A and B are shown apart, each in its own frame.
Chain A
Amino acid sequence: MKKQWFTISVYSENNVGLLNRISGIFLKRHINVESLNVSKSEIEHVSKFTIVVNTTEDWTRKIVAQIEKQIEVIKAFYHRDDETIYQESALFKIASHLLFDERQIQNIIKESNSQIVTVSRDFFVLAKTGRRHEIDEMHDALEPFGIMQFVRSGRITVTKAEMPITAMLEDFYQDK
């Protein structure tokens, strides 16, 4: 089976030890986490992990089963890229004088649809949200001029299909 990109979405209780438990599942199987994002979800007090891996579907399915088995995990899903809407964010810190010295930078800002977050005497910060390749392109374009700092977030994803977490939680309380 060939390796592919998969986004694993995990809905869980907000628990301090859970990140360790989930990362252990990847560690044990020697699967590298390409990106990881933890945030609140659409449901109050429910956290959402968004984990990107590059591996076979078989492994992804097994990992998701192991994740879902953890007590504080409500539900875990995995999706191929074409089943999701996904984005990453990046920040570029660049020396301010370059805005004036290198006209090309203004074009890059316009063409990349990035925003200037802040400008100071010494540096300015560009924010870019988009697909990985768009951020990479912008990085490549800016690199020759010198990037003082660069950071990129983990992928965040919403799926095209429904994720029926609320219904699952309601079922639990009805069973009781």
Chain B
Amino acid sequence: MRYEFMETIKLKKDQSTKSTGIKITGAEAIIHCLLAEGVDLIYGYPGGAIMPVYDELYKFQDKLTHILTRHEQGATHAAQGFARVTGKVGVAMATSGPGATNLVTGLADAQIDSTPIVCITGQVPRHLLGSDAFQETDIIGISTPVTKWNHQITKASEIPEVMAKAFYIAKSGRPGPVLIDITKNAQFEEFEFSYEKCTGVRSYKPVPEPSIKAIEAAAELINSAKKPYIVWGQGVILGKAEEALKAFVEKAGIPAAWTIMGESALPTSHPMNVGMVGMHGNYGPNVLTNECDVLIAIGMRFDDRVTGNLDTYAKQAKIIHFEIDPAEVNKNVAVDIAVLGNAKTTLELILPLINENSHEEWHKEFDKKYKEEFAQVIEKDLHPSKPGLTMGEVIEEINLASEHEAVIVTDVGQHQMAACRYAKFKHSKSNITSGGLGTMGFALPAAIGAKMGAMEREVVAIIGDGGYQMTIQELGVIFQHNIPVKIVVLNNDHLGMVRQWQELFFESRYASTVMTNPDFVKIAEGYHIEAKRVTERKDLKTVVQEMIASKNPYFLEVRVEKEDNVFPMIPSGASVSEIRLK
């Protein structure tokens, strides 16, 4: 019965409403705007100031499914998970005051990871604005630094234009979160509704015009390079440039590494894919950043977790930056050539200008570094000889059982680094993680959104015992709607990454990182979710296989080694060349 419900979600069609000449309320208008934008699924939590909209949601439940998360933060992360897996705009709704402030973490996460979501909040009636009314909070002021755009609607007639603009802004150019705050009087007011999709905002240019001169200069530099090296980011996925990137790297024969936000844009097994950059990235991709002669950055923003110390980052190299957001160019790293535009467009433009090459000798250096890393780190992580279970071997079992088909959703911390390092992907949009903000509690609700956005795909949430408890209440959503996500908690009874830093940089003073955890299996069972615990290696494979084979939600707790560290590691503030293997 509950499963049928999930099926119905997929059947809903975009039933946009054209001008009717009939007056409707602002609340009903909001529903029609959502339908017109092709929205059939939203996450949220009702409350006083948004009740008129919820009343309309009740009437429109055959067209628009609302999922009641157990906390508004969960609604934003679920909307993010949906957006990341589908490429569409995720929608979350909340009431005024605390409902609205609970959205802030999700907005900030979506802002820094360029995720298109639209959040709708109720607000006290216009005549009470500024009076410190019950559940009044200045959510426009609060959300300004963490939104791409926000706007308060105080009369119903503004609703269609503002909603259209919200969706346009959220998904165009470099995507991001938009918050629309709607006073209660505007929800009650009646007006003549008509809807027109937004096709442009005069003060906003979402995609800069690519410069042919820059592309030609970039091509010349790439063609003359002896040791060219690509680092790509999420811009490839957001720009739907996966095929263009593949064609580019294959023709040019250039080793290509990814930031965690860009992971899965090229299959893990692709011969040009040399792995992950950054603090816990692969050895070769980090060290060789400081040995390449041309660094080609594509849709990435030189985050400090990627670059380490900027004073010693790729100083020997000429740098080309393919980027959609002009504000990112020369922000952290000064570049020699900026190729502005959508990554798909610019990569397709440069492809015919690129000479075929294979750079075999240069690739061998990556192979050599990989062998070193394999011997010192990877083998011990994936095939440990010690009794305690490692995070890496759990990821590897998930790889094997899911045949690299799964969407992997992670939180932040050691488990995230293990998952990003060792998960293998065949398809794009498969690695969903809180990259820029590093939000604990992201994974469980994001996995709900990811699953509902891609019902045909296996979705596995991999979470640490700390982050899991930040949004554990969303198990209620999984139970209520029988959303068949697989939840793997890698439990080391610690806030593992902070503990690792304390061990390495604070003389093992474990300040508030040791946790006494509850019985996670019982908690899952309390939500009627099938649950198992693995404490020994001999059980791991069978249970992971059983989990992947299950058609229902499934919870798996794996008791991993308590004080394992994630390596390699670039210590904070060190250079990419100073990456440590132990």
Contacts and interface: CB of A to CB of B under 8 A. Distances in A.
Interface stretch (A70-78, A101-109, A113-121, A127-135): A70-78
A146 interface: no
Nearest to B206: A71
A174 B201 CA distance: 13
A12 interface: yes
Nearest to B150: A17
B271 interface: no
A173 interface: yes
Contacts, number: 48
A172 B200 contact: yes
B326 interface: yes
A74 B169 contact: no
Contacts of A172: 200, 202
How big is the B interface, by class?
Answer: 20 to 34
Contacts of A40: none
A27 B55 CA distance: 41
A175 B207 CA distance: 13
Interface stretch (B140-148, B467-475, B523-531, B564-572): B140-148
A169 B202 contact: yes
Interface string B115-142: 0000000000000000000000000110
A20 B152 CA distance: 14
A20 B141 contact: yes
Nearest to A23: B144
B152 to A, nearest CB: 8
A65 B200 contact: no
B325 A17 contact: no
A66 B326 CA distance: 9
B66 to A, nearest CB: 28
Interface string B167-211: 001000000000000000000000000000001111110000000
A71 B204 contact: yes
Interface string A138-154: 00000000000000000
A13 B144 contact: no
How big is the A interface, by class?
Answer: 20 to 34
A45 to B, nearest CB: 10
B270 interface: no
B203 A73 contact: yes
A72 B203 contact: yes
Contacts of B145: 21, 24, 28
Given A65-B326, A65-B331, A21 B144 contact: yes
Interface of A: 12-13, 17, 20-21, 24, 28, 61-62, 65-66, 68-69, 71-74, 169, 172-173, 175-176
22 contacts: A12-B203, A13-B203, A17-B144, A17-B150, A21-B145, A28-B145, A62-B327, A62-B330, A62-B331, A65-B326, A65-B327, A65-B331, A66-B327, A68-B326, A69-B325, A69-B327, A71-B149, A71-B204, A72-B204, A74-B202, A172-B200, A172-B202
Interface of B: 140-141, 144-145, 148-152, 169, 199-204, 325-327, 329-331
Listed from nearest, the 10 A-B pairs whose CB atoms lie closest are A65-B327, A172-B202, A74-B203, A71-B149, A69-B327, A71-B204, A24-B145, A72-B203, A21-B144, A20-B144
